[in-house]
Amino acid sequence: MTSTLMEGFLPFEHEPYFNFGLDAVAGRQRDAYRMVREKYLGRAFPMYLGGKAVEGTATFEVHNPADTREVVWRFPKATPEQLEEAIGGAKAAFEEWRFSDPMQRATIFKRAADLLRARRLEFNAVMGLENGKNWAEADGEIAECVDHFEVFAREALKWAQGKPVYPMPDEHVTMVYEPIGVVAVISPWNFPAAIPLGMALGAIAAGNTVVWKPASETPLSSLLLVELLYEAGLPRNVIQFVTGTDDVLGDPLVDHRDIRMIAFTGSKEIGCRIMERAAKVQPGQKWLKRVMAEMGGKDPTVVCADADLDDAARGIVQAAFGYAGQKCSACSRVIAEASVYDELLDRVVTLARELKVGSPEENAPLGPVIHEGSAARIMDYVEKGKGTARLVLGGERAGSGEREGGYIAPTIFADVDPRDPLFQEEIFGPVLSFTKARDWRHAIDLANDSEYGLTAAFYSRDPQKINEARRLIHAGNLYVNRKCTGALSGTHAFGGYGMSGTNAKVGGPDYLFWFLQTKTVAQKY
């Protein structure tokens, strides 16, 4: 029956991006910013516990990264008692949602996709004010959210079918997949809509319930999606939405005996902490917790001597400096063959020098990093790098008029030693290192010289080199002759190797398996 229902879906197509080069489209985005400021600025927003909006006795402020003096909105600080209420509500809701019709789930997701299409520019503006993405970066993420809704609608139906087994002559045997329980979704600030939505949809598409904890820097981008799902028909207690501080929503959430699984995206440090704490069985806990973690990257771009250098340079600059390098998939290492190293470096520096630093609300190509703490950490890497490598561009804080924020000039270091922290450690900012390779095989070896393995790009026209790169480069997502950012849900299943995480591959055909358990039923004739 499920196959028949799937046949009623139109063929999947990725949501197209808005063309902000058109005056009319750009005008609509500016209007959306004005509307968001009028509608949301200064408001205090609720959590959702047991399906009800709950205000907090204490709140925290969300600041605009483009000018950190501006408080854009406020959210509640959950108490330990409210965390218990959220987990208890999700646990109770699971007993009904686990038996919900997969077609019901798919229909809710499809309806949510339509609702989001109508409000994309609004969601873009909210994100720009919360985490400093310019128009194109925000729109790419919200378009990915539309894709998530469409993809997970189809995946909910696909996984409901179970899988065939080899038959027995005297038994009827089936293998089916069942949901596992309450899933804690812990998400980062750099993709505050697409990342938590992907994890949450994986959980609820499989029949689980969710405790959704957004990053404190970007809670409204998440809350609007939760409310959108409610509007689309999701039972309101299937997702519990909690905001607040790590002392209440960090270890206590991970450790809780009624949490069946933690879906996490963030730093290696926190991901490893979650893995360690989740391994301990708490009193009264009846299962081994499952952890799905995506923990960052140190992503290389390899450029061979036969590559199209103009194409490679454009891809490197886009991947290194888009959203100020604050992507786990961002290109942070360029490894080029010696014969083209200097020429490629010159082309990349020329393009990067043209990037204008400014406000994301005004659609500047390069905006601020998320906050001053991040800026200070990035600049510490830069200052130390000046003593170990050759600075060829940037290396200083950038001004942006009268605004106060973490503005950093696009920065490029050349002749970086593979042992240098510039080469090995995730900086998460607009800092790019260049390293020279003896030949293309040595370049692949250098690309693999990392504890991370999330994305990589490889530029060459030679089929033999490309085939070797496909075999040998140690990364969950390898892009040949294109930039290493910009994964599309449903097509570029996303997740890495090594310390980049558990390789869960969000948006891919196997993702829901992480949220399910397998039951075999044999009935004798």
How many degrees, rounded to 5, is the angle at CA 267 between CA 138 and CA 329? Answer: 50
Query: Could you name the CATH architecture of 299-487?
Result: 3-Layer(aba) Sandwich (3.40)
Which of 304, 292, 391, 297 minimizes the C-alpha distance to 349?
391
The active-site residue out of 15, 85, 144, 294 is 294
pLDDT on residue 402: 79
Please, what is the angle between helix 102-117 and helix 194-205, to 10°?
160
Q: What is the pTM of this model?
A: 0.96
CATH topology of domain 2-7+47-60+79-115+151-295+504-524: Aldehyde Dehydrogenase; Chain A, domain 1 (3.40.605)
Those residues whose C-beta lies under 8 Å from the C-beta of residue 391, and which sit 6 or more positions away, are 385, 411, 412, 413, 414
pLDDT on residue 317: 98
CB burial readout 192-227, b (16+ within 10 A) else e = bbbbbbbbbbbbbbbbbbbbbbbbbbbbbbbbbbbb
Where do the CATH 3.40.605.10 domains begin and end in the chain?
A: 2-7+47-60+79-115+151-295+504-524
pLDDT on residue 400: 67
Tokens of 354: 């043209």
Task: Note down pLDDT in tens along the chain; length 525 residues.
Answer: 445 556 668 899 999 999 999 999 999 999 999 999 999 999 999 999 999 999 988 999 999 999 999 999 999 999 999 999 999 999 999 999 999 999 999 999 999 999 999 999 999 999 999 999 999 999 999 999 999 999 999 999 999 999 999 999 999 999 999 999 999 999 999 999 999 999 999 999 999 999 999 999 999 999 999 999 999 999 999 999 999 999 999 999 999 999 999 999 999 999 999 999 999 999 999 999 999 999 999 999 999 999 999 999 999 999 999 999 999 999 999 999 999 999 999 999 999 999 999 999 999 999 999 999 999 999 999 999 999 999 999 999 997 677 899 999 999 999 999 999 999 999 999 999 999 999 999 999 999 999 999 999 999 999 999 999 999 999 999 999 999 999 999 999 999 999 999 999 999 999 999 999 999 999 999
Residue with tokens 């690309």: 447
Where do the CATH 3.40.309.10 domains begin and end in the chain?
A: 299-487
Q: Give whole-number Cα distances, 248 to 53, 78, 253, 455, in Å.
A: 19, 7, 8, 33
Residue with tokens 């399910």: 516
Tokens of 521: 């039923």
Distance CA 139, CA 142 (A): 5
Quick check: is 61 catalytic? no
Those residues whose C-beta lies under 8 Å from the C-beta of residue 55, and which sit 6 or more positions away, are 44, 46, 76
Q: Give whole-number Cα distances, 55 to 79, 319, 428, in Å.
A: 11, 40, 34
